[in-house]
């Protein structure tokens, strides 16, 4: 399947690399609006760069060859992954409709940009054969994976209350904050993450509360989940450990903080230090009757990347849910 990536920032460049790593997909090119270091490095990776017609000269001056404009890129692809800033995907949608190409949008778009919102563990099947699919945001992906892990292992959920410490900015976003504050983000409750999780999990009683903190590395979620049953702690740990894209990190092994989990990823030689999995602090998993408590980190830059690959396979009917998840994870080096 020939894939175009439109919007080559934090998410787009990672999705482009992930597409290039699959044996059933081919990256036809990426659309860049500015001839910055991102464009130069993408060209150096061998990716074909497409750019707005009126900026081609700027790209040429920067030494970046341009293969065409946005319409050219869309027409050369079987499917588009749109990873542009919040709201731009909805503006671009008309181009995809006009060209008759399916598209995958990101979580910064409103849910109604697509026919279905997507998380591979939660609702892969709902996206099969659809034309427009939206991969939910990083925080919603984290929530969806943890709650799906419980459900897939027979642990029914009565309600979930999830408190989120959101990273203030991505590492390269030098103008964002806060730098010395804790900001209710949003101040209203529930934050949008709970309602968003329902777009992939269906009917679940969930409330989320979020603050932004002066951190760039990861989000941290503190979850309180009320279960239908009273499982042992071991059963919950087994459920999390046996679910793809969830990893357990033990304080006793030295993982005292998210920074040390990030260090693990860097020491593992992962590209950009990416953590595609939800990182559960295993010591935090506490069961008290029906009450389950846990804390987990979500690497906002990486966690949605495998979901985009599975969304492409669902739309293209390239594989079933578990085959796709396994294939994606193997190609990326995600730990089974
Ligand atoms: P980003 O700003 O890092 O990247 C967006 C890229 O699109 C930039 O390179 C920008 O120059 C380019 N762009 C701007 N206008 C464009 C246009 N009209 N056409 C083509 N390209 C254009 O943004 P991001 O963080 O990668 O976010 C992309 C999407 O992914 C958003 O919906 C966001 O909500 C979602 N998302 C972001 C994160 C995260 O933490 N960064 C996590 C999950 C989902």
Predicted complex ipTM:
0.99
pLDDT at 19 over 80: yes
Q: What is the pLDDT of residue 305?
A: 99
Q: Are residues 173 and 269 in the same domain?
A: yes
pLDDT at 156 over 90: yes
Q: Which residue has the tokens 């509360």?
A: 209
Q: Are residues 174 and 313 in the same domain?
A: no
Q: Does residue 138 have an active-site annotation? A: yes
Ligand 1 centroid vs 13 CA: distance in angstroms? 10
Average pLDDT over residues 134-149: 98
Q: What is the pLDDT of residue 335?
A: 81
Q: Are residues 261 and 175 in the same domain?
A: yes
Beta-carbon neighbour count of residue 157 at 10 Å? 18
Average pLDDT over residues 59-73: 98
Q: Which atom number of ligand 1 is nearest to the Cα of residue 88?
A: 18
Report the distance separating Cα 214 and Cα 208, nearest Å: 20
Mutation test residue for ligand 1: of 7, 70, 96, the one with most atoms within 8 Å of CB:
7
Nearest CA to 194 out of 155, 127, 246, 147 is that of 147
Q: Which protein residue has the closest C-alpha to ligand 1 atom 16?
A: 84
Residue 83 DSSP code? -
Q: Are residues 50 and 157 in the same domain?
A: no
Q: Which protein residue has the closest C-alpha to ligand 1 atom 12?
A: 7
Nearest CA to 10 out of 263, 298, 304 is that of 304
Cβ < 6 Å from ligand 1: which residues? 6-12, 31, 33-34, 83-86, 88, 106-109, 137-138, 170, 300-301, 304
Among 109-113, 133-137, 181-185, 331-335, the minimum mean pLDDT is found in: 331-335
Helix (H) or strand (E) holding 220: strand 219-227
- Residue ranges making up the domain that contains 228: 138-298
Q: Which atom number of ligand 1 is nearest to the Cα of residue 304?
A: 43
Q: Are residues 265 and 315 in the same domain?
A: no
Mutation test residue for ligand 1: of 64, 80, 84, 138, the one with most atoms within 8 Å of CB:
84
Q: Which protein residue has the closest C-alpha to ligand 1 atom 15?
A: 84
Report the distance separating Cα 49 and Cα 36, nearest Å: 12
Q: What is the pLDDT of residue 336?
A: 72
CA dihedral 243, 258, 17, 61 (to 10 degrees): 160
Q: Are residues 107 and 239 in the same domain?
A: no
Q: What is the pLDDT of residue 126?
A: 98
Q: Are residues 112 and 151 in the same domain?
A: no
Q: Are residues 282 and 154 in the same domain?
A: yes
Q: Are residues 238 and 117 in the same domain?
A: no
Helix (H) or strand (E) holding 37: helix 37-44
Q: Are residues 159 and 74 in the same domain?
A: no
C-alpha distances out from residue 267 to 18, 248, 271, 273, 314, Å: 20, 17, 10, 8, 33
- What share of the chain has pLDDT > 70, as a percent? 100
CATH number, residue 323: 3.40.50.720
Q: What is the pLDDT of residue 281?
A: 98
Q: Are 246 and 149 in contact (CB under 8 A)?
A: yes
Looking at the 3D structure of the chain, how many domains does it have?
Answer: 2
Residue 285: band (very low, low, confident or very high) from pLDDT cuts 50, 70, 90: very high
Q: Are residues 145 and 118 in the same domain?
A: no
CATH number, residue 205: 3.30.360.10
Query: CA end-to-end span of the chain, whole Å?
Result: 25
Instruction: Determine the Cα angle at 125 with ends 150 and 90, to 5°.
Output: 105
Ligand 1 centroid vs 9 CA: distance in angstroms? 5
pLDDT digits (tens, 9 = 90+) for 267-280: 999 999 999 999 99
Q: Which protein residue has the closest C-alpha to ligand 1 atom 9?
A: 9
pLDDT digits (tens, 9 = 90+) for 42-62: 999 999 999 999 999 999 999
What's the order of all strands across the beta sheet hosting 26-31?
49-50, 26-31, 2-6, 79-82, 103-105, 132-135, 116-118
Q: DSSP H helical segments within 137-257, as ranges?
A: 138-152, 193-201, 233-241
Strands 206-213 and 246-249, by their bridges, are: unpaired
- Catalytic site residue from 133, 138, 211, 258: 138
Q: Are residues 54 and 142 in the same domain?
A: no
Nearest CA to 296 out of 309, 283, 308 is that of 283
């Amino acid at each position: 399947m020939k894939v175009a990536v439109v919007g080559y920032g934090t998410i787009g460049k990672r999705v482009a690399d992930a597409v290039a790593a699959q044996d059933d997909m081919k990256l036809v090119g990426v659309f860049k609006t500015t001839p910055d270091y991102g464009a130069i490095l993408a060209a150096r990776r061998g990716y074909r760069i497409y750019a707005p017609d009126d900026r081609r000269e700027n790209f040429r001056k920067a030494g970046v060859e341009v293969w065409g404009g946005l319409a050219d890129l869309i027409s050369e692809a079987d499917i588009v992954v749109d990873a542009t800033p919040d709201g731009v995907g909805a503006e671009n949608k008309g181009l995809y409709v006009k060209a008759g190409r399916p598209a995958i949008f990101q979580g910064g778009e409103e849910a109604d940009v697509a026919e279905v919102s997507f998380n591979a563990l939660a609702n892969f099947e709902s996206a099969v054969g659809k034309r427009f699919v939206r991969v939910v945001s990083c925080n919603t992906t984290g929530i969806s994976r943890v709650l799906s892990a419980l459900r897939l292992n027979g642990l029914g959920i009565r309600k979930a209350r999830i408190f989120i410490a959101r990273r203030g900015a991505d590492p390269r976003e030098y103008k964002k904050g806060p730098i010395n504050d804790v900001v209710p983000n949003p101040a209203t409750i529930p934050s949008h993450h709970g309602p968003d999780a329902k777009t992939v999990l269906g009917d679940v009683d969930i409330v989320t509360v979020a603050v932004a903190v002066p951190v760039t590395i990861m989000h941290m979620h503190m979850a309180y989940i009320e279960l239908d049953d009273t499982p042992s702690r071991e059963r919950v740990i087994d459920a999390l450990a046996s679910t793809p894209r969830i990893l357990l990190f033990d304080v006793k092994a030295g993982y005292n903080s998210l920074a040390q989990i990030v260090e693990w990823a860097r020491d593992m030689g992962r590209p950009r230090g990416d953590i595609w999995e939800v990182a559960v602090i295993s010591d935090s998993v506490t069961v008290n009757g029906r009450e389950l408590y846990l804390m987990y980190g979500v690497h906002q830059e990486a966690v949605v990347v495998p979901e985009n690959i599975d969304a492409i396979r669902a739309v293209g009917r390239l594989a079933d849910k578990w085959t796709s998840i396994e294939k994606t994870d193997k190609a990326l080096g995600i730990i089974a």
